[in-house]
């Protein structure tokens, strides 16, 4: 016992120091947002705000259309996730349960599509959206985000359906369900946690996009997403870091909250493929 | 009796019919928003075209974009920058990711909180990470200059974003901070799948902590390690937002990777045929990498 105590203390110190260093940038973002202009220019820097300006968030929301940007991001994510989930639930189920000719090639294509750089697809998509008059509308972003989300969700869902025993459907069909009915009434309800995790993952992917929003929405200010709006603030406001930090925190908040409360589901989806 | 025929899941016709039907919406959508654009991209790379008009007949076939590309110093420069970035960022992501995973894999009170905190940057949007680090490395009031002066490393403030080497370093730091949690999450999942018995057996044989790490932990992690390494390298290779928002590829193109160059040529200079040619080169790299990935993780497919 005597020998174990210093080892345990050392472990705690290492863990605390490591966590503190790695999370420090997020802490620093919060401190900066709450700092007064004088504190921002002070050296040595203020590590603990003496008079935190809690009003900064209300101010920045009043001065900047941040709520509009957040609303647009939510709309884009909702549209892209809905569209992606609709097609990938069906496709994931098919890839998991049926032997379809060409299914494997489709699977390989989807897996490769997961690796595509946005800078490659953004050029032809620009051409297509220009031709159809969609540049500047949220529809362009919904479709562009679906290119990011569909490959992920299809694979995640196929993996999830693979873990559900086939006996469930067989039992349902013995009870008189059609194959489609077995899927809708038995498999989908059982898969609810997996579906939720997959949809959340899609939401995070959509929320994090900058490249497509920058390309398709720059000239349509009323449709700016949160990330796009935030970067325009960085460009113009070189000196006012408190405001930018406050806006950055607001933009990061939804995904941070999802992570903090639903970490288990998100991480489960992320590692599902690698463990097996 | 008719019902039992209906029930027969193995009956080929029914299985196929429904399987194809369920795949159809995905095939249509993927064809429309991924496969067709990919085709357009390759097609554009063989045309002398600025801003494409897809409703008009295509321009004549030419390989001039590729000839220009392979003789352009800018392209080789961007390739070198990309390679440097991929190697450096992936290396440090691994060091930090594996280190933190091993650390929080220990049993202690508050372990789940530590796990949550260690992977927290994963949940920070890339552009927000850029805001944080652009401020920390600000040339006048940034924290890092103060730290460097206090430590006596420099006597005057560094303008991080005007010096090519410094800007490259800042981009690396930002990408490592944003990228290591993914490694950590994957490694932790890998660590938890190693049976405890392995370690107990090794202890009985008198292996110390270092020997256990080298002889049990790392070899057991190898499959996950390979997959994660390729995924992280691809992430760095493809990344656009961090570099573009942070430095725009500058100063003096010091942080201009192939992704940034593609985007600049397409939407800065509106040379989309030329940009597509760079894009196709990155596509080939991505396809090779994803084939490697499939070779390493056969069960994953």
Q: Which residues of B92-127 are buried (b: 16+ CB within 10 A; e: fewer)?
A: bbbebbbbbbbbbbeeeeeeeebbbbbbbbbbbbbb
The per-residue pLDDT for A89 is: 95
**Residue A175 main-chain phi, psi, to 5 deg:** -80, 5
Search chain B and give the residue with CA nearest A264.
Answer: B116
Q: Which of B196, B34, B185, B50 is nearest to B117 (CA)?
A: B185
Quick one: tokens of B98?
Answer: 């594996």
**How far apart, in whole angstroms, are the C-alpha atoms of residue A32 and residue B132?**
9
| pLDDT tens track for B217-255 | 888 888 888 889 989 999 999 999 999 999 998 898 999
Q: Which of A119, A276, A22, A33 is nearest to B277 (CA)?
A: A119
CB contact under 8 A, A98 and B272: no
B135 neighbors A247 (Cβ within 8 angstroms): no
Rounded to an integer, the average pLDDT of A121-141 is: 94
B178 neighbors B242 (Cβ within 8 angstroms): yes
B234 neighbors B289 (Cβ within 8 angstroms): yes
CB contact under 8 A, B262 and A117: yes
Question: Please, which residues have CB within 8 angstroms of residue B135's CB and are 6 or more apart in sequence?
Answer: A28, A29, A32, A241, A244, A245, B142, B143
CB contact under 8 A, B9 and A179: yes
**How far apart, in whole angstroms, are the C-alpha atoms of residue A169 and residue B121?**
41
- What band does B196 get if pLDDT is binned at 50, 70 and 90? confident
Cα of B142 vs its chain's centroid, Å? 28
For chain B, which residues make up each domain, given as ranges?
A: 72-300
Best CATH choice for the domain B72-300 from the list 1.10.3720.10, 3.30.1330.200, 2.60.40.10, 1.10.10.10: 1.10.3720.10
Q: Which of B210, B264, B245 is nearest to B77 (CA)?
A: B264
DSSP category for residue B162: T
**How far apart, in whole angstroms, are the C-alpha atoms of residue B12 and residue B18?**
10
**How far apart, in whole angstroms, are the C-alpha atoms of residue B49 and residue B270?**
9
| pLDDT tens track for B10-48 | 554 456 788 889 999 999 999 999 999 999 999 999 999
The per-residue pLDDT for A144 is: 96
Domains of chain A are 65-228+253-275 (1.10.3720.10)
B residues 194..253 contacting A (CB < 8 A): 224, 227-228, 234, 237-238, 240-241, 244-245
């Amino acid at each position: 016992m005597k020998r174990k105590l210093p080892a345990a203390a050392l472990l705690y110190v290492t863990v605390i120091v490591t966590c503190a260093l790695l999370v420090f940038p997020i802490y620093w973002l919060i401190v900066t947002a709450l700092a007064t202009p004088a504190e921002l220019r002070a050296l040595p820097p203020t590590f603990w705000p003496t008079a935190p300006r809690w009003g900064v968030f209300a101010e920045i929301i009043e001065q900047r259309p941040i709520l509009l940007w957040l609303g647009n991001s939510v709309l884009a994510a909702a549209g892209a996730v809905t569209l992606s989930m609709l097609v990938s639930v069906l496709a994931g189920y098919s890839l998991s349960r049926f032997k379809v000719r060409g299914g494997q090639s489709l699977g390989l294509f989807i897996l490769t599509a997961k690796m595509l750089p946005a800078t490659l697809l953004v050029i032809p998509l620009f051409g297509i959206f220009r031709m159809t008059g969609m540049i500047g509308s949220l529809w362009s972003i919904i479709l562009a985000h679906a290119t990011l989300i569909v490959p992920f969700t299809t694979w995640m869902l196929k993996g999830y359906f693979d873990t559900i025993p086939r006996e469930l459907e067989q039992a349902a069909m013995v009870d008189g369900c059609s194959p489609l009915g077995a899927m809708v009434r038995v498999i989908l309800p059982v898969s609810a946690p997996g579906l939720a995790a997959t949809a959340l993952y899609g939401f995070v992917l959509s929320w994090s996009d900058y490249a497509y929003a920058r390309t398709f929405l720059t000239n349509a200010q009323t449709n700016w997403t949160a990330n796009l709006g935030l970067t325009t603030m960085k460009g113009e406001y070189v000196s006012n870091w408190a405001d930018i930090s406050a806006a950055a925190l607001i933009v990061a908040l939804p995904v941070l909250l999802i992570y903090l409360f639903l970490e288990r589901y998100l991480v489960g989806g992320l590692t599902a493929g690698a463990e097996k | 009796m008719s019902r039992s025929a209906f029930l027969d899941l193995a009956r080929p016709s029914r299985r196929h019919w429904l399987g194809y039907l369920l795949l159809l919406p995905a095939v249509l959508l993927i064809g429309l928003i991924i496969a067709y654009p990919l085709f357009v991209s390759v097609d554009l790379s063989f045309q002398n075209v600025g801003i494409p008009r897809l409703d008009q007949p295509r321009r004549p076939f030419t390989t001039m974009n590729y000839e220009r590309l392979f003789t352009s110093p800018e392209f080789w420069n961007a390739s070198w920058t990309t390679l440097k970035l991929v190697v450096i960022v992936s290396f440090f992501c691994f060091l930090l990711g594996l280190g933190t995973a091993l650390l929080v894999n220990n049993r202690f009170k508050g372990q789940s909180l530590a796990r949550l905190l260690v992977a927290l940057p994963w949940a920070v949007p890339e552009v927000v990470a850029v805001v944080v680090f652009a401020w920390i490395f600000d040339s006048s009031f940034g924290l890092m200059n103060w730290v460097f002066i206090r430590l006596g490393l420099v006597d005057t403030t560094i303008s991080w974003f005007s010096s090519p080497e410094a800007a490259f370093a800042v981009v690396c730091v930002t990408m490592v901070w944003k990228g290591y949690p993914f490694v950590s999450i994957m490694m932790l999942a890998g660590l938890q799948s190693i049976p405890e018995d392995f370690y107990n057996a090794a202890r009985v044989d008198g292996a110390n902590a270092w020997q256990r790490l080298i002889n049990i932990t790392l070899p057991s992690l190898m499959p996950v390690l390979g997959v994660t390494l390729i995924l992280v390298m691809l992430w760095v290779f493809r990344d656009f937002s961090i570099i573009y928002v942070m430095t725009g590829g500058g100063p003096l193109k010091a942080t201009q990777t192939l992704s940034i160059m593609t985007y600049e040529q397409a939407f800065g200079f509106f040379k989309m045929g030329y940009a597509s040619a760079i894009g196709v080169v990155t596509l080939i790299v991505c396809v090779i990498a994803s084939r490697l990935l499939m070779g390493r993780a056969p069960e994953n497919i």
